[in-house]
């Protein structure tokens, strides 16, 4: 909401500058996004160069058909001659005059300095102003006409906010009371030590009373409905003071009656609506739910299809407004309107929010209603609006109704002032707490029973809510301390520590960490959890594998030419359980250029670093190259199926809980220093299909406890070996922690191994 | 044979040797098995001659060793002068991997709080509406409960909209004192733009203990913000509104780019909004069965991406999810 300061100052007397007010509001009340300067510049005495003038003579310019030659009294004794292009005034008009040397806006909105000029041979010593030239509006159709009776020579700044500062504010959800000038004024008064000024408005008397029939069929959704009928209304433009205020507040001027409803909404925060009463053919107001499929063309020209969740204002025969959100086009106030039914009602927030969300229709009104407007504020709003329509449109009030079944009682909350201190961590004297609450409109009795003002009744219902009222006002005084932290011990859990370790291992192995979306387009698991209403089809399923995100990330980098590419992600997966919540498991996955070998090498590194034995089994997995595809207890590794991404990519994915489970709790030292090792290499030929893993298992099984290391270091195929066979070389290292092994002992163990290999695989020793 | 002459001849030869090979020749000639000195020593019969000759031998051995060292050092120096490399030529290193900037900030935040005695809890991402909304005191009509703002699996299940459900799960699992942080993914139906992605990360903090105050919250956040954005930063706390805290505040830090003078990063305000915080609403304590008269607490929940883009001046938060190595390699 935009709050022009000149307008705000009508309700609060305060010395603080706009910047000081903004600062205090920002800390204690609501966000002031910025302070805007509007109107002509207030610098170098510029404002003193604008005055109220009275036209004492106006004739056609002798040399130009489109110009008037005016003599204007600006209180200098002698009138000034001013050439003017507008014709919407004559002798006797009270106008706004810019004197030479003043800075004003051009038609294009650029500031320029006015000089004395000769126009078609006639001197012009000033300018009669249109509202756009002062930045008070957009209208350039004619000059501004000021109310009669203002003394010529009166500084224009005393009459109009020709320079103003505007606070652009956004309250939180709970402070709809601050979407009003009176609400803001109350905060400013409380925070900046200002004096709240009363709004003195006398409700006009009812002439020729008539019955105003209002029926509310859904009082839960519409707890209050004030209707007022005004007759002999003359629709016309609003006076400049009203136009200027609306313009500075970011609203468009439409006509006096419509402008009044917007103006009063801004003042009291309770939205209003005006119907052309002659178009309410049913002659009454009935508030009810819409019938399913009911249609209404709203003011914006859109035909809305409604259902029983929506609240309608009807005239007893037909719908005339979408309750609290937008009026109907058919009953709109127009230039022909002479009778007005003014609505100042109250609506419950949740239903309004639902309708406005469903229709995608948000208005200044719905924005307030959906936050819960004070039902008490409807009455002062109705009175002020009635007064203004009577004053500005020459209308008379002929009937009034106020339908409600009791307004809500004000909550009463017991406050322990020492409780405030205990929560805030700052001693705030009880007298000061009482004073703060009083300035905010709370009544505090001797027992510290706090009666909440009507405009905060939804939000402040408990002691802690009252504590917050005090806390926010003293917020800048709150010291910075640290909690006591007895009985605490900061540490990562074992899993958290190991997750970091896996990340570090992969970073050490040259991988960059990727963050990919946990919602994917499709998932290989047909039971994966689907979002019933995804934002896009690209993010529709909770993934059960990291692979597709990593493949996408790799593709981005291929396209960008970022080789070499090695990416990993450590994140959660969501495995369906058949219960309400899926099982969320941590996985690490990787993708790396270099095919199967690169994947295997990476997984070997992870296992080695975690002191785990890697056992890999051949498997066929759909995402992998069928010949280069393997399972591990904790997951899988292999070469990415080339159909998924061009090139040779090593990929893997490991379930972390499974991976971590066999990690030894501690490492016991083995003495490999005291006694030397005896190294022996063997090479055996075996059938081609015998896998290295099986050979190693037999070697380890036959080698006995002193076989410290068995490493397959070469596989050779060639004519000497024969077709269908291969030679496998194994490095053996024997060592005891208790004595020095002899060559003969080592040889005996080696022979045992060779025998076992011969028995198991028909292996033949080559050398 | 005259020992003196022999010694002076030898010393002359040692001094004349100009390579290590030459000194070796001198060593063989004067001190070798077949040298005159060794010959004489083998033939010596009286103690006095023996002592004299041995003294000569020792002096000559020392002189040869000294000259040898000298020449070896000179030869090494000579060789090293020919072995010059271009030290400015890169050697192809730097092929390291990279932690994602969000992980780096995540760890930094975790470590700060570990140092303060907090634990790290993991929470979960798919939540019941009971934990995500009801227990956190979201009123019935709150916009976050609407499918327009949140991503639902069904009526009762939602992708968590903030990390705060972990507060409830932590409080249910133990009694105070509680000092925890929880970091992880959250989900909101936000159209992606430079400052929003539908999936994002938050850091949540929760403290529940006897005598915890708003001042403690401000002190803790002040500490955290200075660690993240620099010790010279100033912090400011402004009133706000959240369902799960009362009083609620929003934390601001003086702009690290302009130091408060005003620049585009802070939208010329000098302050950067970091995120929400507040004193745990007593409703939450009621939900988990804590006595709100005995315990008080604070909580905060901030976006990690926001901290990352601010700190590293990344103009568009979506870049953090593109996984382009040209970005990742900078971190």
| pLDDT tens by residue, A480-521 | 999 989 888 899 999 999 999 999 999 999 999 999 999 999
In chain A, how long is the greatest CA-to-CA distance? 133
Q: Are residues A441 and A545 in the same domain?
A: no
Domain with A9, as residue range(s), is: 2-40+165-196
Question: Is B79 exposed, middle or buried, given 0-12, 13-18 or 19+ CB atoms closer than 10 A?
Answer: exposed
C-alpha atoms less than 13 angstroms from C-alpha of A215 in its C-beta half-sphere: 11
- Work out the minimum CA distance from A51 to partner chain B, whole angstroms: 35
Single out the residue of A161, A43, A152 nearest to residue A103, CA to CA: A43
Residue A8 within any structural domain of the chain: yes
Tokens found for residue A527: 């039971």
CA distance A753 to A139: 102
- Work out the minimum CA distance from A358 to partner chain B, whole angstroms: 9
CA distance A214 to A221: 15
Angle of CA points A191, A197, A201, to nearest 5° = 145
Identify how many contiguous H helices and E strands chain A contains and give both numbers.
Answer: 18, 42
Query: Among residues 628-667 of chain A, which lie with CB inside 8 Å of chain B?
Result: none
Q: What is the CATH number of the domain that holds A451?
A: 3.30.56.10
Residue B96 within any structural domain of the chain: no
Q: Are residues B35 and B160 in the same domain?
A: no
Q: Are residues B184 and B254 in the same domain?
A: yes
Q: Are residues B74 and B109 in the same domain?
A: no
Tokens found for residue A693: 């893993």
Given the DSSP bridges, would you call strands B152-154 and A272-276 parallel, antiparallel or unpaired?
Answer: unpaired
Of B218, B238, B241, the CB nearest to A26: B238
Question: Which residues are A570's β-sheet partners?
Answer: A588
Q: Which pLDDT score is estimated for A231?
A: 97
Q: Are residues A79 and A103 in the same domain?
A: yes
Q: Are residues A554 and A453 in the same domain?
A: no
Count of structural domains within chain B: 2
Q: A259: alpha, beta or left, given left = phi > 0 and alpha = psi -120 to 50?
A: alpha
Q: What is the mean pLDDT of residues A358-383?
A: 95
CA distance A49 to A115: 12
Q: Are residues A310 and A181 in the same domain?
A: no
Residue A533 within any structural domain of the chain: yes
Q: Are residues A255 and A171 in the same domain?
A: no
Residue A486 within any structural domain of the chain: no
- Work out the minimum CA distance from B87 to partner chain A, whole angstroms: 25
Q: What dihedral angle (degrees, nearest 10) is formed by the CA atoms of A457, A459, A462, A463?
A: -100
Q: Are residues A311 and A225 in the same domain?
A: yes
Asked whether residue A102 carries a pLDDT value surpassing 70, the answer given is: yes
Single out the residue of B225, B233, B226 nearest to residue B258, CA to CA: B233
Query: Among residues 201-220 of chain B, which lie with CB inside 8 Å of chain A?
Result: 207, 209-216, 218-220
Q: Is A481 in Cβ contact with B117 (below 8 Å)?
A: no
Q: Are residues B71 and B109 in the same domain?
A: no
Q: Which pLDDT score is estimated for A767?
A: 64
CA distance B232 to B283: 37
C-alpha atoms less than 13 angstroms from C-alpha of A87 in its C-beta half-sphere: 6
- Residues in chain A within 8 Å Cβ distance of B100: 512-515
Residue A73, H or E segment? strand A68-73
**Under a CB-based contact definition with an 8 Å cutoff, are residues A529 and B150 in contact?**
no
Residue B45 within any structural domain of the chain: yes
CA distance A408 to B62: 113
Q: Which pLDDT score is estimated for A466?
A: 98
Count of structural domains within chain A: 6
**Which of these three, B82, B110, B141, is where a domain ends?**
B82
Residue B91 within any structural domain of the chain: no
Q: Are residues A640 and A511 in the same domain?
A: yes
Q: Are residues A122 and A144 in the same domain?
A: yes
Given the DSSP bridges, would you call strands A117-119 and A214-216 parallel, antiparallel or unpaired?
Answer: unpaired
Q: Are residues A308 and A228 in the same domain?
A: yes
- For chain B, 331 residues long, the average pLDDT of each consecutive 10-residue run is 86 93 93 90 89 92 95 93 90 88 97 96 96 94 90 96 95 96 96 94 96 98 96 96 96 90 86 96 96 97 94 93 96 93
Q: What is the mean pLDDT of residues A83-104?
A: 94
**Under a CB-based contact definition with an 8 Å cutoff, are residues A653 and A624 in contact?**
no
Residue A482 within any structural domain of the chain: no
- Residues in chain B within 8 Å Cβ distance of A173: 142-143, 241
User: Cis bond leading into B32, ω under 30°?
Assistant: no
Q: What is the mean pLDDT of residues A94-113?
A: 94
Angle of CA points A631, A632, A636, to nearest 5° = 55
Alpha-carbon distances of A160 from A41, A49, A297, A512, rounded to whole Å: 14, 14, 38, 64
Residue A667 within any structural domain of the chain: no
Q: Is B98 in Cβ contact with A490 (below 8 Å)?
A: no
- Work out the minimum CA distance from A357 to partner chain B, whole angstroms: 8
CA distance B187 to A540: 13
CA distance B125 to B163: 8
The crossing angle, in degrees rounded to 10, of helices A181-192 and A256-268 is 30
Q: What is the CATH number of the domain that holds B203?
A: 3.30.930.10
Give chain A's mean pLDDT.
Answer: 95
Q: Is A480 in Cβ contact with B222 (below 8 Å)?
A: yes
Per-residue pLDDT tens digits for A566-597 = 999 999 999 999 999 999 999 999 999 999 99
Q: Are residues A434 and A564 in the same domain?
A: no
Q: Are residues B202 and B299 in the same domain?
A: yes
- Residues in chain A within 8 Å Cβ distance of B327: none
Q: Are residues B171 and B309 in the same domain?
A: yes
- Give A504's contacts (C-beta < 8 A, 6+ positions apart): none
Q: Are residues A67 and A144 in the same domain?
A: yes
Residue A542 within any structural domain of the chain: yes
Tokens found for residue A415: 């406050």
Residue A669 within any structural domain of the chain: no
Q: Are residues B77 and B40 in the same domain?
A: yes
**Under a CB-based contact definition with an 8 Å cutoff, are residues A312 and A194 in contact?**
no
Single out the residue of B115, B207, B86, B164 nearest to residue A492, CA to CA: B115
Q: Are residues B136 and B70 in the same domain?
A: no
Q: Which residue has the higher pLDDT, A142 or A659?
A: A659
Tokens found for residue A650: 């090593």
Interchain CB contact of B324 with A (< 8 Å): yes
**Which of these three, A660, A689, A707, is where a domain ends?**
A660
Interchain CB contact of B20 with A (< 8 Å): no
Single out the residue of B287, B266, B30 nearest to residue B170, CA to CA: B287
Q: 10 Å Cβ neighbour count for A532?
A: 11
Q: Which pLDDT score is estimated for B303?
A: 95
Q: Are residues A538 and A454 in the same domain?
A: no
Min mean pLDDT across A4-8, A167-171, A532-536, B49-53 is at: B49-53
Residue B154 within any structural domain of the chain: yes
Residue A170, H or E segment? strand A163-170
**Under a CB-based contact definition with an 8 Å cutoff, are residues B238 and A475 in contact?**
yes
DSSP A359: H
| Residue B326 DSSP SS3 | helix
Domain with B26, as residue range(s), is: 3-82
Q: What is the CATH number of the domain that holds A745?
A: 3.30.70.380
Among B238, B268, B276, the strongest candidate for a mutation testing the A interface, having the largest count of A CBs within 10 A, is: B238
Q: Are residues B16 and B126 in the same domain?
A: no
- Work out the minimum CA distance from A407 to partner chain B, whole angstroms: 21
Q: What dihedral angle (degrees, nearest 10) is formed by the CA atoms of A23, A27, A29, A31?
A: 70
Of A426, A516, A534, the CB nearest to B215: A426
Q: Are residues B59 and B106 in the same domain?
A: no
Q: What is the mean pLDDT of residues A48-60?
A: 95
Q: Are residues B62 and B109 in the same domain?
A: no
CA distance A404 to A412: 22
Q: Are residues B51 and B174 in the same domain?
A: no
Tokens found for residue A619: 């498997």
Residue A205 within any structural domain of the chain: no
Q: What is the CATH number of the domain that holds A335?
A: 3.50.40.10
Tokens found for residue A237: 């433009």
Query: Among residues 493-532 of chain A, which lie with CB inside 8 Å of chain B?
Result: 493, 496, 500, 503, 506-519, 529, 531-532
Q: Tell me, what's the ipTM? A: 0.89
Angle of CA points B92, B95, B99, to nearest 5° = 155
């Amino acid at each position: 909401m935009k709050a022009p300061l000149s307008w705000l100052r009508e309700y609060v007397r305060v010395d603080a500058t706009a910047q000081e007010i903004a600062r205090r509001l920002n800390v204690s009340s609501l966000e002031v996004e910025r302070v805007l300067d509007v109107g002509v510049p207030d610098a170098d005495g510029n404002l003193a160069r604008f005055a109220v003038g009275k036209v004492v003579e106006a004739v056609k310019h002798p040399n130009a058909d489109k110009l008037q030659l005016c003599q204007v009294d600006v209180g200098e004794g002698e009138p000034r001659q001013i050439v003017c292009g507008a014709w919407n005034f004559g002798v006797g008009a009270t106008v706004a005059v810019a004197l030479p040397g003043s800075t004003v806006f051009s038609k294009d909105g650029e500031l320029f300095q006015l000089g004395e000029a000769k126009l078609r041979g006639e001197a012009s010593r000033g300018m009669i102003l249109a509202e756009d030239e002062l930045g008070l509006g957009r209208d350039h159709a004619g000059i501004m006409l000021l109310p009669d009776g203002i003394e010529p020579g009166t500084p224009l700044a005393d009459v109009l906010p020709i320079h103003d500062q505007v606070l652009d504010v956004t309250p939180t959800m709970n402070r709809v009371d601050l979407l009003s000038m009176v609400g803001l004024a109350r905060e400013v008064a409380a925070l900046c030590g200002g004096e709240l000024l009363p709004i003195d408005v006398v409700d006009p008397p009812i002439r020729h009373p008539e019955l105003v029939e209002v029926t509310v069929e859904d009082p839960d959704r519409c707890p209050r409905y004030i209707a007022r009928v005004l007759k002999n209304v003359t629709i016309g433009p609003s006076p400049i003071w009203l136009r200027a205020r609306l313009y500075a507040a970011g609203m468009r001027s439409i006509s006096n009656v419509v402008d009044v409803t917007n103006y009063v909404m801004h003042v009291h925060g309770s939205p209003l609506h005006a119907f052309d009463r002659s178009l309410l053919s049913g002659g009454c107001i009935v508030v009810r739910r819409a019938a399913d499929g009911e249609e209404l063309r709203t003011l914006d020209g859109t035909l809305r299809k409604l259902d029983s969740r929506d609240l309608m204002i009807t005239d007893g025969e037909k719908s005339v407004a979408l309750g609290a959100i937008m009026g109907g086009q058919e009953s709109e106030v127009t230039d022909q309107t002479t009778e007005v039914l003014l609505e100042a009602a109250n609506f419950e927030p949740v239903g309004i929010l639902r309708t406005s969300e469903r229709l995608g229709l948000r208005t200044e009104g719905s924005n307030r209603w959906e936050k819960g407007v004070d039902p008490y504020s409807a009455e002062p709003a109705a009175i002020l609006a009635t007064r203004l329509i009577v004053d500005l449109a020459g209308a008379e009030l002929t009937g009034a109704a106020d339908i409600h079944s009791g307004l809500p009682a004000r909550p009463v909350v017991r406050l322990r002032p020492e409780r405030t201190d205990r929560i805030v961590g700052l001693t705030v004297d009880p007298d000061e707490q009482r004073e703060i609450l009083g300035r905010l409109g709370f009544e505090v009795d001797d027992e510290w029973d706090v009666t909440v003002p009507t405009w905060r009744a939804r939000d402040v219902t408990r002691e802690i809510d009252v504590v917050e009222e005090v806390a926010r006002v003293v917020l800048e005084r709150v010291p910075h301390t640290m909690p006591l932290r007895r009985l605490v011990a900061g540490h990562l859990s074992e899993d958290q520590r190991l997750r970091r370790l896996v990340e570090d291992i992969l970073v050490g192995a040259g991988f960059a960490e990727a963050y990919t979306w946990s919602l994917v387009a499709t998932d290989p698991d047909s039971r994966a959890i689907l979002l019933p209403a995804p934002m896009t089809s690209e993010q529709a399923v909770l993934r059960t594998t990291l692979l597709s995100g990593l493949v996408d990330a790799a593709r981005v980098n291929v396209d960008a030419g970022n080789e070499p590419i090695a990416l990993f992600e450590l994140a959660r997966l969501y495995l369906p359980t058949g219960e309400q919540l899926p099982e969320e498991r941590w996985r690490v996955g990787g993708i790396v250029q270099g095919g199967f070998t690169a994947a295997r090498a990476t997984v070997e590194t992870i296992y080695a670093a975690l002191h785990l034995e890697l056992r890999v089994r051949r498997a066929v997995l759909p995402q992998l190259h069928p010949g280069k595809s393997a399972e591990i207890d904790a997951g899988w590794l292999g070469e990415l199926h080339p159909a998924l991404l061009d090139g040779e990519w090593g990929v893997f994915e490991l379930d972390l809980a499974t991976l971590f489970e066999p990690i030894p709790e501690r490492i016991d030292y083995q003495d490999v220093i005291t006694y030397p090792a005896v190294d022996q290499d063997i090479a055996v030929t075996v059938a081609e299909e015998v896998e290295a893993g099986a050979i190693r298992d037999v070697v380890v099984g036959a080698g006995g406890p002193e076989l410290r290391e068995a490493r397959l270091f070469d596989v050779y195929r060639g004519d000497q070996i024969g077709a269908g066979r291969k030679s496998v070389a194994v490095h053996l290292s024997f060592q005891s922690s208790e004595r020095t092994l002899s060559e003969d002992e080592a040889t005996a163990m080696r022979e045992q191994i060779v025998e076992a290999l011969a028995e198991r695989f028909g292996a033949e020793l080559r050398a | 044979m005259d020992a003196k002459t022999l010694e002076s001849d030898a010393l002359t030869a040692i001094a004349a040797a100009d390579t290590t090979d030459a000194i070796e020749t001198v060593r063989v000639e004067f001190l070798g098995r077949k040298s005159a000195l060794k010959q004489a020593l083998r033939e010596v019969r009286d103690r006095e001659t023996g002592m004299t000759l041995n003294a000569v031998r020792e002096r000559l051995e020392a002189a040869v060793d000294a000259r040898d060292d000298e020449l070896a050092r000179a030869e090494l120096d000579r060789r090293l002068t020919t072995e010059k490399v271009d030290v400015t030529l890169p050697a192809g290193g730097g092929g390291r991997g990279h932690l994602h900037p969000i992980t780096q900030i995540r760890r930094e935040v975790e470590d700060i709080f570990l140092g303060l005695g907090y634990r790290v809890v993991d929470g979960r991402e798919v939540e019941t509406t009971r934990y995500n909304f009801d227990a956190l005191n979201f009123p019935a009509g709150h916009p976050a409960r609407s499918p327009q703002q949140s991503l639902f699996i069904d009526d009762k299940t939602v992708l968590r909209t903030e990390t705060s459900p972990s507060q409830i799960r932590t409080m249910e699992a133990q009694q105070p004192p509680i000092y925890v942080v929880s970091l992880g993914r959250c989900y909101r139906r936000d159209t992606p733009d430079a400052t929003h992605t539908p999936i994002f990360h938050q850091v949540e903090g929760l403290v529940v203990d006897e005598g915890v105050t708003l001042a403690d919250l401000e002190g803790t956040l002040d500490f955290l913000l200075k660690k993240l954005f620099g010790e010279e930063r100033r912090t400011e706390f402004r009133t706000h509104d959240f369902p799960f805290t009362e009083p609620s505040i929003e934390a601001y830090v003086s702009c690290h780019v302009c130091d408060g003078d005003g620049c585009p990063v802070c939208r010329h305000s000098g302050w950067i909004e970091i995120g929400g915080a507040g004193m745990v609403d007593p409703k939450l304590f009621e939900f988990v069965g804590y006595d709100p008269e005995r315990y008080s607490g604070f909580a905060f929940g901030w976006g990690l991406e926001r901290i990352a883009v601010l700190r590293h001046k990344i103009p568009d938060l979506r870049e953090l999810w593109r996984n382009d190595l040209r970005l990742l390699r900078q971190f």
